[in-house]
């Protein structure tokens, strides 16, 4: 039975909105931690856990698998249980995963803990933006959802900072030359890295208990008085009344238009009024990944080394890159409710195009004289179908022996070697190794580290590949590219264009993509539509991650950056010409844009009531 709502004062409303933003922001922090925490813990986990390479790869991939599974069911659970309960569940799963991982002494509990983290991330990625979109006022919805992205980047940066702290401590212990003590400290290090993430998870769970349920979900379930009470926690009475009337108007309109003979069709994603916003959200999410953002972040230092910077310079460049990502997300948070999503996406995607094209042109110039030495490396393959090679100036000269004068002339400067190889249907590529890197590890190619350990990872790597055949296939060197290292000046230019890329991405698409996902979907299909759109987003991300290194190895960075720029052109055109502006519009007004109707309630309200919520 619905209870009468309690009207709050302006100060109480303000405090509640701050708490709502803080709790939802903690959800973004957990999402970022889920993504970034394994990178810092992995070296110490590999050294002390006793797991083989296949088991380690499964542990790393478990978060992706758990996230995909959770995304499939997040919409259904959010509709069935409610937004608030699913937020609590996602936080509890994260909290439960930490001691399971940190106290594990075997493969099974470690794998289960990582799966729980992935499921938590999948739920959070759907339910928190969904909850924010349905609870925040129109004028604060953009800023609130952007804070989710801002703290997501903070979660990744925090994970990196925690890992850096322990890496410094490990280096200090290593100076003692005591193997047993070093082993014990590394074992403690990866466990401690996970323990440090427990507090934000606990705060997220506790904070979620103090939040109201989504007013749109309550109204959809027929709890109209409770929906008004939830609205009054974050709005003034006049604005709450307007939005409640809009919900009633939309619900009545949908009831009139629903076919009596087929009542379930009104919930279908194929209904005419739902198709356009659903497709638009899917295109934006797919294009967001097709900018290459994840691969550019993951391989940033490698890209800069290939561009002409030293190893130290490249890692400093990566530090600046990630810091700028965090800072420009703050800029996006400040701008999204001022200049609007449409303009911010258009400006951001246009800047990304320019940045990617400039980066591609720089690499195109650098790669114009590269040479393929695949035949020379093929002769070095052992009977066990493996290859180990220490690459230096002497080896570069040996590999280039017999090429034309232009190829040999490249040895006047340092060169890099990138090997593209395959076992059956599984292609891979080595990281670029410079001929002047005296401390670089030898290139080692072996079947055990090159093909997936099981069918699950094989599917995510290449759904069409034959894993059984790859386990018996010979090693094939597809290409062995030797490329002259560009000058440091070219490296600096490349670093600058990549900084341009992340600045435009963080302030535009990085902030707006979560808004597009949650705002465009009509209330009736929002949860299920967001789940499908996020699944498409993850699929595009997985495909790009699988083909990035092989494509770079075969065609070079220039081609890859040109492809990313071409995909971003689609992003720009979609944002500029198809995406409606949703700034300061209620979710019902946004839905009315795609249905071709008007929200009469809000159209007749005074302008200052629409923007502030009270007269």
Tokens of 150: 């801002």
pTM: 0.71
- For 83, the domain range is 9-211
Which residues, 6+ apart, have CB-to-CB distance to 389 below 8 Å? 377, 380, 395, 442, 443
Whether 608 is in a domain gets the answer yes
Q: Is the domain of 220 the same as that of 322? A: no
Whether 1 is in a domain gets the answer no
Q: Is the domain of 576 the same as that of 594? A: no
For residue range 565-578, list pLDDT tens digits in order.
999 999 999 888 88
Whether 472 is in a domain gets the answer yes
Q: How many domains does the chain have?
A: 3
Which residues, 6+ apart, have CB-to-CB distance to 388 below 8 Å? 442, 443, 444, 445
User: Quick one: average pLDDT of 161-187?
Assistant: 83
Q: Is the domain of 65 the same as that of 138? A: yes
Whether 261 is in a domain gets the answer no
Q: Is the domain of 32 the same as that of 174? A: yes
For residue range 315-340, list pLDDT tens digits in order.
678 778 888 888 898 888 888 878 88
Distance CA 271, CA 234 (A): 32
* Closest CA relative to residue 65, chosen from 28, 26, 120, 130: 120
Whether 403 is in a domain gets the answer yes
SS (H, E, C) 52-91: CHHHHHHHHHHHHHHHHHHHHHHHHHHHHHCHHHHHHHHH
User: Quick one: average pLDDT of 510-532?
Assistant: 74
Q: Is the domain of 372 the same as that of 513? A: yes
Q: Is the domain of 417 the same as that of 479? A: yes
Residue 611 has pLDDT above 50, yes or no: no
Q: How many helices and strands, by DSSP H and E, does the chain display?
A: 27, 7
User: Quick one: average pLDDT of 298-315?
Assistant: 75
Q: Is the domain of 45 the same as that of 142? A: yes
Q: What is the pLDDT of residue 614?
A: 41
- Of 175, 192, 211, the residue at which a domain comes to its end is 211
Q: Is the domain of 107 the same as that of 134? A: yes
User: Among residues of the chain, what percentage have pLDDT more than 90?
Assistant: 13
Q: How many residues does the chain have?
A: 615
Coil vs helix vs strand at 451: coil
User: Quick one: average pLDDT of 476-480?
Assistant: 87
Confidence band (pLDDT; 50, 70, 90) for 505?
A: very high
Whether 492 is in a domain gets the answer yes
For residue range 576-609, list pLDDT tens digits in order.
888 887 777 777 777 777 666 555 444 444 444 4
Q: Is the domain of 249 the same as that of 318? A: no
Confidence band (pLDDT; 50, 70, 90) for 409?
A: very low
Decide if 601 contacts 245 (C-beta within 8 A). yes
Query: Distances in Å between the alpha carbon of 532 and those of 73, 75, 235, 512, 522?
Result: 10, 8, 31, 18, 14
Whether 93 is in a domain gets the answer yes
Confidence band (pLDDT; 50, 70, 90) for 266?
A: very low
CATH number at 293 reads 1.20.1250.20
Whether 262 is in a domain gets the answer no
Confidence band (pLDDT; 50, 70, 90) for 94?
A: very high
Q: Is the domain of 184 the same as that of 84? A: yes
Element (DSSP H or E) covering residue 372: strand 371-372
* 22-26, 83-87, 455-459, 478-482: least confidently modelled range: 455-459
Q: Is the domain of 357 the same as that of 468? A: yes
* 50-59, 148-157, 249-258: least confidently modelled range: 249-258
Q: Is the domain of 481 the same as that of 388? A: yes
Phi, psi of 368 (to 5 degrees): -65, -20
């Amino acid at each position: 039975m619905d209870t009468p709502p309690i009207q709050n004062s302006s100060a109480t409303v303000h405090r509640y909105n701050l708490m709502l933003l803080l709790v939802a922001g903690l959800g973004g922090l957990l999402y970022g931690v889920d993504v970034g925490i394994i990178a810092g813990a992995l070296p110490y986990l590999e050294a002390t856990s006793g797991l083989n390479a296949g088991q380690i790869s499964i542990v790393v991939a478990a978060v992706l698998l758990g996230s995909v599974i959770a995304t499939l069911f997040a919409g259904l659970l959010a509709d069935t249980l409610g937004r608030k309960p699913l937020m609590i569940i996602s936080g509890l799963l994260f909290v439960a995963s930490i001691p399971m991982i940190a106290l594990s002494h075997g493969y099974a509990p470690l794998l289960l803990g990582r799966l729980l983290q992935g499921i938590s991330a999948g739920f959070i990625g759907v339910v928190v933006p969904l909850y924010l979109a349905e609870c925040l006022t129109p004028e604060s919805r953009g800023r609130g959802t952007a804070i989710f992205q801002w703290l997501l980047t903070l979660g990744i940066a925090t994970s990196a900072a925690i890992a850096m702290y322990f890496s410094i401590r490990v280096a200090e212990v290593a100076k003692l030359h005591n193997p047993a003590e070093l082993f014990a400290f590394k074992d403690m290090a990866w466990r401690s890295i996970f323990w440090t993430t427990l507090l934000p998870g606990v705060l997220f769970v506790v904070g979620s208990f103090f939040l109201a349920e989504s007013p749109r979900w309550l109204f959809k379930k027929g709890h109209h008085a409770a929906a008004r009470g939830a609205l009054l926690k974050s709005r003034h009475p006049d604005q709450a009344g307007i939005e409640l009337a809009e919900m009633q108007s939309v619900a009545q309109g949908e009831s009139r238009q629903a076919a009596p003979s087929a009542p379930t069709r009104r919930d279908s994603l194929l209904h005419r009024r739902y198709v356009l916003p659903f497709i638009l959200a899917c295109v934006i999410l797919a294009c967001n990944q097709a900018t290459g953002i994840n691969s550019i972040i993951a391989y940033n230092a490698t890209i800069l080394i290939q561009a002409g910077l030293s190893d130290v310079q490249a890692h400093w460049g990566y530090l600046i890159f990630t810091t700028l990502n965090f800072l420009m997300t703050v800029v996006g948070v400040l701008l999204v409710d001022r200049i609007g999503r449409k303009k911010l996406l258009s400006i951001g995607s246009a800047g990304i195009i320019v940045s990617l094209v400039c980066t591609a042109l720089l690499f195109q110039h650098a790669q114009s004289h590269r040479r393929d030495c695949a035949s020379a490396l093929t002769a070095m393959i052992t009977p066990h179908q493996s290859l180990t090679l220490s690459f230096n100036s002497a080896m570069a000269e040996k590999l280039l022996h017999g090429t034309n004068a232009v190829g040999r002339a490249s040895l006047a400067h340092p060169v890099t070697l990138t090997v593209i190889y395959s076992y059956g249907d599984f292609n891979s590529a080595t990281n670029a190794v410079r001929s002047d890197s005296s401390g670089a590890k030898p290139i080692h190619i072996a079947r055990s580290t090159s093909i997936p350990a099981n069918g699950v990872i094989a599917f995510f790597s290449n759904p069409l590949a034959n894993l059984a055949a790859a386990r018996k296939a010979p090693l094939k060197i597809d290409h062995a590219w030797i490329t002259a290292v560009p000058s440091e000046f070219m490296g600096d230019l490349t670093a600058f264009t990549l900084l341009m890329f992340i600045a435009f991405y963080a302030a535009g698409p990085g902030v707006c993509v979560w808004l597009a996902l949650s705002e465009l979907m009509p209330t009736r299909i929002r949860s299920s539509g967001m789940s499908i759109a996020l699944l498409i987003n993850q699929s595009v991300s997985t495909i790009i991650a699988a083909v990035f290194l092989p494509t770079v190895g075969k065609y070079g960075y220039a081609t890859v950056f040109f492809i990313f720029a071409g995909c971003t052109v689609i992003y720009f055109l979609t944002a500029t010409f198809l995406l409606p502006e949703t700034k300061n519009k209620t979710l019902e007004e946004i839905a009315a844009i795609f249905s071709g109707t008007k929200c009469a309630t809000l159209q007749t309200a005074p302008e200052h009531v629409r923007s502030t919520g009270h007269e």
